[in-house]
């Protein structure tokens, strides 16, 4: 189906659905004119094949102890083979109940209190939160920004590795919030530096299916087998298919020693068993959601073009969207001394994710979620147009 047909079939008004993004925004600000484009979930129902199959299971009325479908691993492997050209092995697979949970578990399994953990900023705020909550130390390497196109500062990474005792690195690829899909060449150069200092690489790839046309996601474990003793991948369909309520994440570990160590950690903490009903949602997605995903990406690309038209009109800086459904925008030139929260909530009437959450140096930036209807995106940017043309 085309983008308009997809929106007509799957778009849903999220008010009165206990939505953190919509209902919580209203309960906080008591102003329904404020459009929330903040939390990274979608305003679209998931693939109908997932809904139909979950409903069949629910109708059985049996919710006792259950194991994963016998072909779960095959469905997972085939999805990644189709979409990313990588062949994961069944014995590489472990589970956690959520991607952020996976980061906490991996930090606690493979590092110690006061160990230094490297991140590339600006980045998803839960990375820093997980490091600090786990009583580790954050080391930041700022990405280089060239008018909204962000790249890795290898010299800065090299300097941080030389001056600190980095034990682990958390990669976000595709990158939230800057929308980059890092290339094989970029990752190889980065991994060479990290591995030369014996750094564990935790690669968060939960946005890896949300890739715009003309770009290709490079799985960390698919670059060079020689790297794999230092890499652990986190992947899930939570972002891909709007399944965040089903806290279910795959942790993929090719290195036998790392896998055994993580499985032992899970066993000690009673974490290794996936919640099977949650896993079913991903299972049916792996089997049936390819076409749904293709249609969704067309919607996101159309919405990005709507945003671009207004942002370019006023020469505002914004990120190049290679992956994710998120756009990061620099509003510094239009604030005219106004506090950014006042500008967003009282003037523009849009609730974003504020840039300072991703890095203190991005306090004049906002992240907007484009996984909604074109009507909503057009309303958001028509409002901005009206404000800026005065």
**Domain range summary for the chain, segments of one domain joined by +:** 3-47+290-389, 62-288
Q: For residue 1, what pLDDT is reported?
A: 85
H helices of 111-225, where?
125-133, 154-163, 184-196
Q: Is 62-288 in CATH node 3.40.470.10? A: no
Per-residue pLDDT, 272: 61
Q: What is the pLDDT of residue 306?
A: 98
- Residue of 320, 323, 344, 319 whose CA lies nearest to 334: 344
Task: Outline where DSSP puts E strands in 58-187.
Answer: 93-96, 116-121, 137-142, 144-146, 149-151, 166-172
Same CATH fold assignment for domains 3-47+290-389 and 62-288:
no
Place of tokens 């147009």: 385
- On whether the CB atoms of residues 108 and 136 are closer than 8 A, the answer is no
- Checking DSSP bridges between strand 116-121 and strand 166-172, what pairing results, if any? parallel
Half-sphere exposure for 12 (CA within 13 Å, toward CB): 16
Architecture (CATH level 2) of domain 3-47+290-389: Alpha-Beta Complex (3.90)
Distance CA(125)–CA(355), nearest Å, equals 10
Specify the pTM.
0.95
Measured in degrees and rounded to the nearest 5, phi and psi for residue 36 equal -90, 115
Contact 174, 215 (CB under 8 A): no
User: The tokens of 387 are what?
Assistant: 């404000």
DSSP state of 211: B
Q: Are strands 144-146 and 365-369 parallel, antiparallel or unpaired?
A: unpaired
- Of 200, 197, 142, the C-alpha closest to 175 is 142
Position 315 scores a pLDDT of 97
3-class DSSP string for 102-115: HHHHHHHHHCCCCC
User: CA-CA distances (angstroms) from residue 126 to 98, 183, 291, 295, 372?
Assistant: 12, 24, 31, 29, 23
Structure tokens belonging to residue 386: 């009206």
Query: Taking the CA atoms of the chain, what radius of gyration do you get in angstroms?
Result: 21
Among 347, 346, 352, 345, CA closest to 388: 347
Cα 107 to Cα 27: distance, rounded to the nearest angstrom:
35
Mean pLDDT, 10 residues at a time, over the chain (390 residues)? 93 91 90 94 97 96 90 98 97 95 97 98 97 98 97 98 98 98 98 98 98 97 97 98 95 97 90 84 98 98 98 97 98 94 96 97 98 98 93
């Amino acid at each position: 189906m085309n983008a308009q047909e997809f929106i007509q079939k799957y778009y849903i008004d999220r008010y009165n659905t206990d939505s953190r993004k919509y209902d919580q925004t209203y309960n906080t600000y008591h102003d329904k004119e404020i459009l929330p484009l903040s939390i990274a979930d979608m305003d679209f129902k998931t693939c109908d094949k997932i809904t139909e199959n979950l409903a069949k299971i629910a109708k059985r009325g049996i919710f006792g102890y259950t194991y994963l479908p016998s072909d779960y691993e095959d469905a997972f492997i085939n999805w990644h083979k189709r979409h990313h050209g990588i062949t994961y092995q069944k014995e590489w697979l472990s589970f956690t109940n959520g991607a952020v949970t996976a980061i906490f578990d991996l930090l606690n399994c493979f590092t110690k209190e006061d160990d230094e953990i490297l991140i590339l900023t600006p980045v998803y705020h839960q990375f820093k939160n997980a490091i600090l909550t786990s009583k580790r130390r954050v080391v930041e390497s700022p990405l280089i920004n060239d008018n909204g196109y962000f790249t890795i500062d290898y010299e800065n990474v090299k300097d941080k590795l030389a001056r600190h005792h980095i034990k682990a690195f958390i990669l976000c690829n595709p990158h939230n919030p800057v929308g980059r899909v890092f290339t094989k060449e970029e990752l190889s150069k980065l991994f060479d530096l990290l591995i030369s200092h014996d750094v564990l690489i935790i690669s968060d790839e939960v946005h890896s299916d949300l890739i715009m046309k003309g770009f290709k996601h490079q799985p960390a474990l698919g670059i060079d087998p020689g790297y794999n003793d230092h890499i652990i991948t986190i992947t899930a369909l939570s972002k891909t298919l709007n399944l965040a309520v089903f806290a279910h994440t795959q942790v993929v570990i090719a290195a036998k020693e790392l896998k055994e160590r993580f499985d032992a950690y899970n066993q000690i903490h009673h974490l290794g068993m996936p919640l099977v009903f949650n896993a079913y949602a991903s299972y049916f997605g792996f089997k049936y959601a390819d076409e749904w995903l293709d249609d969704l990406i067309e919607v996101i690309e159309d919405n990005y073009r709507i945003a671009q038209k207004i942002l370019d009109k006023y020469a505002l800086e914004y990120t190049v969207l290679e992956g994710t459904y998120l756009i990061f925008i620099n509003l510094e030139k239009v604030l005219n001394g106004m506090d950014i929260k006042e500008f967003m909530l009282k003037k523009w009437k849009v609730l974003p994710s504020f840039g300072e959450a991703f890095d203190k140096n991005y306090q004049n930036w906002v992240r907007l979620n484009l996984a909604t209807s074109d009507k909503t995106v057009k309303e958001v940017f028509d409002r901005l147009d009206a404000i800026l043309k005065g």
